[in-house]
Amino acid sequence: MEEIREVYLDNSATTKVAKEAVDAMVQAMTLAFGNPSSLHRKGMEAERIVSKSRETLAAFLGAKSREIYFTSGGTESNNLAIKGAAYARKRYGRHLITTAIEHPSVLDVFKSLEEEGFSVTYLGVDDSGHINLEELERALKPDTILVSIMYVNNEVGSIQPIEAAAEIIAKNKNTLFHVDAVQAFGKIPLIPHLKGIHLMSLSAHKIYGPKGVGALYVRDGIKIMPLFNGGGQEEGLRSGTENVPGIAGFSAASELAFKNMAAWQARMRELKERLKDRILEEIPDAVLNGSENGAPHILNISFLGTRAEVLLHALESHGIYVSTGSACSSYKKGKSHVLAAMGKTAEEIDSALRFSFSPFLSLEDIDYTVEILKKEVTELRKFIRR
């Protein structure tokens, strides 16, 4: 009987919560369970957790603690940053810039703003998923009030030239720069002190923290409009009782990620290279999507002559978990907008799988995955290529 392992290769969708994060959350739920806005001791205990967590995240970003605002996750952070900036700065103009390969929680916000009368320029990407800085410079206008560019693409792992983009954007004094760093934070080194970045979105559950909590960095002096009103928490920018257990877990996960970043990055790169090299050498008609030098935790490959969704479930039957792209896009019909923007063919898009790594996988997990892939791809091609 075939040995079935559990190999979780969907870490860009979410990660397993680390024990350190769970412990911090349990303490917040069972001991420091007060409302952080309450004036009594239980409230102050909870408030201290929130304040300490804010300081922890700020330290890892090279920011000030007052520049960190807690949210319900990356989607809220992106919405708050983009809509909040657009509404607050529309007196300076109504032109916005983003890229064609952003996460849906960015792209859909820009489409919504277009319906409200804003104009949006969508930057294209090359066949490896990178923007052209000259195109960005040409797109900037005197009435451009916001540019939003993701740090690491969630489907193919391309790392955008954020530092160079920030230097270009800085020439426009009324233009804010927002960066979706959900797939970058804790995985790769960021620009020191976030130079040139005004707004940055983060999420806990991509770095072994809990779901339902994130953060938005807002540079000192930058004013954005809140999306809803209430009790005035988070300096009035994000009303609502703070998710203290989630924030505690986010902080603990961040400490773990930054403490181990160099070692984890090297380990994930090793796993990624092993899987990539073996697939491309041993499985015919496998096509790499994205750059050879992308983020260490994301690998996207098309297996021509297969259907990605069918292959995904075939792998699942052997205990291997992968994805066909963004988990947040799985509820929507249609092809990968990222691969389409990169100029991939319909067959390459239909047969693309995303493998995303954690440092807790073994080389044996990778070799098991390759052997199962070889078997299942061969079988599926017999039916599809008839």
Active site residues: 328
Distance CA 19, CA 39 (A): 31
The two tokens of residue 295 are 């983020």
CA–CA separation, 272 and 119 (whole Å): 39
Pair type for strands 214-218 and 68-71: antiparallel
- The residue among 113, 122, 62, 123 whose CA lies nearest residue 85 is 113
Radius of gyration of the chain (CA): 21
261-282 vs 244-259: helix crossing angle, rounded to 10: 80
Order across the sheet with 68-71: list the strands.
Answer: 68-71, 214-218, 199-203, 176-180, 144-150, 95-99, 119-123
| Cα–Cα distance, 346 to 41 (Å, whole number) | 60
Burial 268-289 (b: 16+ CB within 10 A, else e): bebbbebbbebbeeebeebbbb
Q: How far apart are CA 261 and CA 124, in angstroms?
A: 31
Cα separation, 186 vs 179, in Å, equals 15
Tell how strand 298-303 and strand 352-356 pair up.
antiparallel
Is 160 in contact with 149 (CB distance < 8 Å)?
yes
CA angle centred on 297, ends 368 and 73, rounded to 5°: 120
Beta-strand (E) ranges in 213-281? 214-218
Single-letter amino acid code for the residue at 229: N
The number of helices, as runs of H, and strands, as runs of E, in the chain is: 12, 12
